Structure 1
Amino acid sequence: MSRFIALLQFLLALCGCSVGGTTYSNRIDSDQEQLHSKVRVQDGVARFDCVESSSGACHYTLYPEACSGKADCQLAPLQRFTVASGESHQVAGLIDFRPCVATTAAALAADCQPAAATKAR
C-alpha cells in the first residue's frame, strides 16, 4: 500500500500538484570533522544532498520512522548508501523513514549514534 501512495504522490508531482514535504538538516562542526547534509522528502521522492563532508562523503543509514531515536530498535535499516561531498542522490518511494548521516561508513544505530557505542551503554 505504501508503494502505491508513493507512486500516486510521484504522479501528482509530475502533474504539478504538491502535497507538502519534510526537510532534515544535519551539521557537525568540530576540530576533528565537518559535515553538512540536507534531506528533502516531497511527493514520494527523497533527495539527499551531501553539501560538505570532511571525509569527502556523507554516509547515510535510513531507519523506519518507528525506530526514531530508539537505540534498542530491532528493525533493520531500510537502506545504506554513500553520497560524495557536493553531490546528490534521489530515491523514489521512501516514506516514513528517518535518516542518519555520518562522515564515516561505521554502522549507525537507530538513534544515529555509532552502533558500537550504543551496545556499550
Structure 2
Amino acid sequence: MHYLTVLLGSLLAMLGYREPQGQTSIIRVSGEAAVLSRTTVSAGKARFQCLQSESGSCFYRLYREECRDEAAGELCRRLALDDFSVGVGGMREVQGLPAGFGQQVRARNAQRRD
C-alpha cells in the first residue's frame, strides 16, 4: 500500500499536478489500533483522507478549544464541531470550520464525552 501511494504521488508530480497551498498534517497512531490519516486545510476548506486503518475506517472528531483565562491556569474546554468517519481510500471535505480547529482521529469509534 505504501509503495502504491509513493508511486502514484511521484507520477502525479511528474505530470505537473500540485496540491493547493495550505497546511497538511499526517497522523500516524500505532499500538492497539493503527491509523494513517492526512488532513489538508486550504482556503477555508479542510480535506480529510483516510489512508490506512486496521478497522477499515478513520473516525474523526473536530473541535474548537475555548479558553477563558489561560494565564490564570484555567483549563480549556473543547467544543465539538463534528464527528464523522471516512473509509480507507476515501476523502471528505468540510467547509466553514473556524481557524485553528483541532482534530482527533482514531481507528475505532469512540463514545462522545461532551
Question: Given the two structures, how large is their TM-score scaled by the length of structure 1?
Answer: 0.62
The residue type paired with residue 27 of structure 2 is N
* Cross-structure match for 1:33: 33
Is contact 2:62–2:102 with CA below 8 Å preserved after alignment?
yes
Give the 4+ runs in structure 1 shifted more than 4 A: none
Identity of aligned residues (%): 35
Question: What is the CA distance between 1:86 and its match in structure 2?
Answer: 1.2
* Structure with bigger gyration radius: 2
* Alignment partners' CA distance in 2, 1:73 and 1:58: 26
In structure 1, distance between residues paired with 2:109 and 2:41: 23
**Partner SS for 2:84:** strand
Higher relative helix content: 1
The reply to whether residue 82 of structure 1 matches residue 85 of structure 2 is: yes
Question: What is the identity, as a one-letter code, of the residue corresponding to 1:90?
Answer: E
1:99 is aligned, of 85, 100, 103, to 103
Change (3 A) 1:76 1:66: closer
Q: Shift in Å at residue 66 of structure 1?
A: 4.3
Question: 1:21 — aligned with what?
Answer: 22
SS at match of 1:104: coil
Instruction: Report the equivalent of 2:60.
Output: 60
Output the amino acid matched with 2:80: P
Aligned length: 86
Higher strand fraction: Structure 1 or Structure 2? 2
Equivalent AA in structure 2 for residue 104 of structure 1: R
CA RMSD of aligned residues (A): 2.1
TM-score, normalised via structure 2 length:
0.65
Partner of 2:10: none
